[in-house]
């Protein structure tokens, strides 16, 4: 969602802020703004991308060694210059940037209006700025800025990551977190603050992650950490493990393409160190303590959103087939509001790339309150989900900057495949031979993905033929049904072409009515248990003149003779096929989106991490 960056030290703040905003632009790009403390607080804000803000600021005085910056993903109020952050209170005493949603902002706003406050924007953030100021002024010099912030936050319902400048105390930044992440970078005589580590990593690798209800008072050479209730806390300093190369494009035209091509490595990194060198065993250290609970679980509930939910659906097939444990896959947003039935011997697995998705986090809390064991599968080290869960496994995909998730998905499926294989072995539902052969199959995935990536020119040519289609249908069966859903999601989110994923057999129950010569149908049809059935489904599409793009096992001549186009993937065990077959679909959506001139890395209306519900 919105991105936050701040700096306090002795360097010029503006270049640090603008560079940080560019790094954060993947989080939100409706508008951007900065506030810099010089002789006075200078504020610049502009609708559109960070480059628009840069144009506005060109040749203006931006000198100052303390400042804050923000990229916005609109929640309250349309994207425009006025609603862009930072927001200043009526008497200019406080300037605020904010990520999250103040749920009771309407009530607070009315109270402030009754006391004479007038509002320039439609945002909840301006309400917060004015609330802080109102409390501060009412304190008549008895309370300082930090105290006013803490008192204001105690009246706020909702989620926030905020950074505040006070006019009367211009030597500090005040930051607070509830629900929306904030990380502080520690330099020499300087501090950085951001909503994630990407703007910080080029300056320092020493960081402090704020916890919920933390308030940080940051001077250039001093950091004080407190609770909102004013109890002092000892900061926990941690080392960042990401490197700067991982957040740059490294010669690729887009982050998405780079991340698709990184998959041989990101999948390898995800199982490296977890599979014994002689392939005799898989170990997931993060689950060691909870393994007896997993083995005894009568049911596993998987909670996630979007692409991560599709990874969860793959896991339903994996775990039920290999380990014979019933699995339910839930959207976080539905689970949290529908009074779910949760037993103490349920194991809940939350899957999230960012580790900050608001609905997934809320669902985790419900499951914890009901006494279930909750595990997390997350890509961002130190994010909220790994901290809120009882145990878990990190996917080691590296930072994912493209808004459309690609390498995070295959890393999630890699972890889930490992969990299913371990559980199958421990539950005696797979034989020793199957166990060893599945491990071997998994470790072969990186080189098979390398092979698939060589088909990029073929996929590009196919994309050229279908880039103007208005609808796409994606079909798959069994393990490949979630891949069909994922292929359809990738296409619609970055190319704005309407696409639907279906279990192939369901086509006859409705979608077949859509098929004519203008309908491209992507069929994931590798050779597995349902191969014969999917061949029939392809015939049904062809009989109605649909155009078939089939993802097939290499050497398949049957489908080749029927389909309009085939993209081959190496042969594999059917449980491994999702990891391979999704890759051509990622490339197909990428090329179509580029050919349609869409902003692939920053699709309209989307944000990388959805920290509001």
The H or E element spanning position 46 is: strand 41-47
Nearest to 254 by CA among 594, 588, 580, 3: 594
Identity of the residue, 263 or 352, whose beta carbon is nearer to ligand F6R in the bound complex: 352
Least separation in angstroms between residue 335's CB and ligand F6R is 13
Give the separation between CA 290 and CA 263, rounded to whole angstroms: 29
Catalytic residue among 2, 305, 378, 598: 2
Nearest to 492 by CA among 352, 342, 306: 306
- From the list 305-313, 425-433, 443-451, 571-579, the region that binds ligand F6R by CB under 6 A is 305-313
Residues 490-509 that bind ligand F6R (CB under 6 A): 493
The reply to whether 572 sits near ligand F6R by the rule CB under 6 A is no
Structure tokens at 136: 């501060």
Residue 137: CB atoms within 10 A of its CB come to 15
The reply to whether 353 sits near ligand F6R by the rule CB under 6 A is yes
Least separation in angstroms between residue 351's CB and ligand F6R is 7
The reply to whether 99 sits near ligand F6R by the rule CB under 6 A is no
Identity of the residue, 361 or 480, whose beta carbon is nearer to ligand F6R in the bound complex: 361
* CB-CB contact of 225 with 186 (8 Å): no
> Is 608 labeled as catalytic in the residue annotation?
yes
Identity of the residue, 75 or 352, whose beta carbon is nearer to ligand F6R in the bound complex: 352
**Exposure letters 86-95 (e unless 16+ CB within 10 A, then b):** bbbbbeebbb
Give the separation between CA 11 and CA 169, rounded to whole angstroms: 19
8-state DSSP, 424: H
Structure tokens at 291: 């393994």
Nearest to 610 by CA among 399, 405, 339: 405
Indicate which single residue of 354, 373, 495, 572 sits in contact with ligand F6R (rule: CB under 6 A): 354
Identity of the residue, 353 or 530, whose beta carbon is nearer to ligand F6R in the bound complex: 353
Identity of the residue, 99 or 405, whose beta carbon is nearer to ligand F6R in the bound complex: 405
Least separation in angstroms between residue 79's CB and ligand F6R is 20
The reply to whether 305 sits near ligand F6R by the rule CB under 6 A is yes
Indicate which single residue of 481, 610, 611, 612 sits in contact with ligand F6R (rule: CB under 6 A): 610
Least separation in angstroms between residue 23's CB and ligand F6R is 18
Residues in contact with ligand F6R, shown as a per-residue x/- string from 514 to 553 under the rule CB under 6 A: ----------------------------------------
* CB-CB contact of 399 with 245 (8 Å): no
Q: Tell me the residue number closest to ligand F6R, measured at CB.
A: 306
Q: How far is CA 294 from CA 288, 299, 335, in A?
A: 10, 9, 21
Cis peptide before 86 (omega within 30 of 0): yes
Residues 360-379 that bind ligand F6R (CB under 6 A): 360
Residue 555's SS3 state is coil
Catalytic residue among 93, 172, 220, 608: 608
> Is 2 labeled as catalytic in the residue annotation?
yes
Indicate which single residue of 99, 121, 214, 307 sits in contact with ligand F6R (rule: CB under 6 A): 307
Residues 403-422 that bind ligand F6R (CB under 6 A): 404-405
Give the separation between CA 281 and CA 7, rounded to whole angstroms: 47
8-state DSSP, 556: -
Identity of the residue, 311 or 575, whose beta carbon is nearer to ligand F6R in the bound complex: 311
Chain length of the chain: 613
Identity of the residue, 373 or 405, whose beta carbon is nearer to ligand F6R in the bound complex: 405
- From the list 122-130, 224-232, 354-362, 424-432, the region that binds ligand F6R by CB under 6 A is 354-362
What radius of gyration, in Å, describes the C-alpha atoms of the chain? 25
The reply to whether 609 sits near ligand F6R by the rule CB under 6 A is yes
CA 556 to chain centre: 36
194: exposed, middle or buried (Cβ count in 10 Å: 0-12, 13-18, 19+): buried
Question: For the packed helices 263-271 and 445-453, what is the interaxial angle rounded to 10 degrees?
Answer: 170
* CB-CB contact of 165 with 173 (8 Å): yes
Question: For the packed helices 445-453 and 432-443, what is the interaxial angle rounded to 10 degrees?
Answer: 40
Give the separation between CA 598 and CA 256, rounded to whole angstroms: 13
Indicate which single residue of 352, 389, 586, 589 sits in contact with ligand F6R (rule: CB under 6 A): 352
Least separation in angstroms between residue 166's CB and ligand F6R is 33
Least separation in angstroms between residue 26's CB and ligand F6R is 11
Indicate which single residue of 180, 266, 357, 553 sits in contact with ligand F6R (rule: CB under 6 A): 357
Identity of the residue, 482 or 570, whose beta carbon is nearer to ligand F6R in the bound complex: 482
The reply to whether 586 sits near ligand F6R by the rule CB under 6 A is no
Query: Binding residues for ligand F6R, per CB under 6 A?
Result: 305-308, 352-354, 357, 360, 404-405, 489, 493, 609-610
Catalytically active residues are 2, 608
């Amino acid at each position: 969602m919105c991105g936050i960056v701040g700096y306090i030290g002795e360097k010029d703040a503006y270049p640090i802020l603008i560079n940080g905003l560019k790094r954060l632009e993947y989080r939100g790009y409706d508008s951007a703004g900065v506030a810099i403390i010089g002789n006075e607080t200078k504020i610049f804000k502009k609708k559109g991308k960070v480059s628009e803000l840069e144009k506005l600021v060109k040749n203006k005085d931006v000198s100052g060694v303390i400042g804050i910056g923000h990229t916005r993903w609109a929640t309250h109020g349309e994207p425009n210059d006025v609603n862009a952050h930072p927001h200043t209170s009526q008497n200019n005493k406080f300037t605020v940037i904010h990520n999250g949603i103040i749920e009771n902002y309407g009530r607070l706003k009315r109270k402030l209006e009754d006391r004479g406050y007038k509002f320039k924007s439609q945002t909840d953030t301006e309400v917060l700025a004015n609330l802080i100021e109102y409390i501060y002024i009412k304190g008549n010099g008895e309370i300082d800025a930090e105290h006013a912030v803490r008192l204001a936050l105690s009246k706020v319902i909702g989620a926030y990551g905020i950074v505040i400048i006070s006019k009367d105390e211009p030597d500090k930044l005040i930051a607070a977190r509830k629900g929306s992440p904030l990380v502080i970078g520690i330099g020499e005589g300087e501090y950085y603050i951001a909503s994630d580590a990407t703007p910080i990593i080029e300056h320092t690798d020493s960081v402090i992650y704020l916890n919920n209800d933390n308030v940080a008072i940051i001077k250039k050479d001093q950091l004080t950490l407190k609770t909102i209730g004013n109890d002092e806390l000892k900061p926990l300093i941690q080392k960042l493990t990401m490197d700067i190369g991982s957040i740059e494009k490294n010669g690729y035209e887009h982050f998405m393409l780079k991340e698709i091509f990184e998959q041989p490595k990101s999948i390898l990194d995800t199982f490296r160190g977890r599979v014994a060198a002689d392939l005799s065993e898989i170990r997931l250290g993060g689950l060691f303590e909870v393994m007896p609970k997993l083995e005894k679980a009568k049911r596993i509930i998987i909670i996630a959103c979007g692409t991560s939910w599709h990874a969860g659906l793959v896991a339903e097939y994996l775990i039920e087939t290999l380990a014979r444990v019933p699995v339910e896959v839930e959207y976080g947003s539905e689970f949290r509001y529908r009074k779910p039935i949760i037993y103490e011997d349920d194991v809940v697995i939350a899957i999230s790339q960012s580790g900050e998705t608001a609905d997934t986090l809320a669902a985790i809390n419900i499951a914890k309150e009901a006494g279930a064991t909750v595990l997390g599968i997350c890509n961002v080290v130190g994010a909220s989900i790994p901290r809120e869960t009882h145990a878990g496994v990190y996917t080691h995909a590296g930072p994912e900057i493209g808004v459309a998730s690609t390498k995070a998905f295959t890393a999630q499926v890699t972890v889930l495949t490992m969990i299913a294989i371990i559980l199958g072995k421990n539950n005696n539902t797979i034989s020793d031979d199957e166990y060893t052969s599945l491990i071997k199959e998994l470790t072969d995935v990186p080189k098979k993905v390398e092979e698939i990536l060589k088909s990029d020119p073929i996929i590009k040519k196919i994309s050229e033929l279908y880039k103007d289609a208005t609808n796409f249908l994606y079909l798959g069966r069994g393990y490949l049904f979630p891949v069909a859903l994922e292929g359809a999601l990738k296409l619609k989110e970055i190319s704005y072409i309407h696409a639907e994923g279906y279990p192939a057999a369901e086509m006859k129950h409705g979608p077949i009515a859509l098929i004519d010569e203008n309908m491209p149908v992507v069929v994931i049809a590798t050779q597995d248990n349902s191969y014969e059935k999917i061949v029939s489904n392809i015939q049904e599409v062809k009989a109605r003149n649909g155009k078939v793009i089939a993802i097939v096992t290499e050497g398949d001549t049957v489908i080749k003779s029927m389909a309009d186009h085939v993209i081959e993937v190496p042969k594999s065990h059917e449980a491994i096929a999702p990891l391979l077959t999704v890759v051509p679909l990622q490339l197909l959506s990428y090329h179509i989106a580029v050919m349609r001139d869409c902003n692939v890395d920053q699709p309209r209306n989307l944000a990388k991490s959805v920290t509001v519900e």
